[in-house]
Amino acid sequence: MQNNLLHEVRGNAIYTYVILRAGYEGTPELAEELRQHVGKVMGPIARPEKVGFVAKLPETRSDKIMRRG
């Protein structure tokens, strides 16, 4: 899984992992809706560049959530 997303202007960009509840499907439309929601609630600077739908979060060997690439 990719943790480090480069952006030509900002340097690093936000890559968001999303675990969907049962019955939901990860679509490009849902990804864009989530991006817009984050931009509205948290501000444009927090809007993720990319949204990735996963079954579980990436973990380290000691079962902690991986925070860096």
| Number of domains the chain is built from | 1
Residue 29's domain comprises: 5-53
pLDDT score of 12: 79
The answer to whether 3 and 66 are in contact (CB under 8 A) is: yes
Confidence class for position 67, pLDDT limits 50, 70, 90: confident
Confidence class for position 4, pLDDT limits 50, 70, 90: low
Per-residue pLDDT reduced to its tens digit, 24-33 = 999 999 999 9
pLDDT score of 68: 66
Retrieve residue 2's tokens: 């990719």
Confirm whether 58 is domain-assigned: no
Confirm whether 33 is domain-assigned: yes
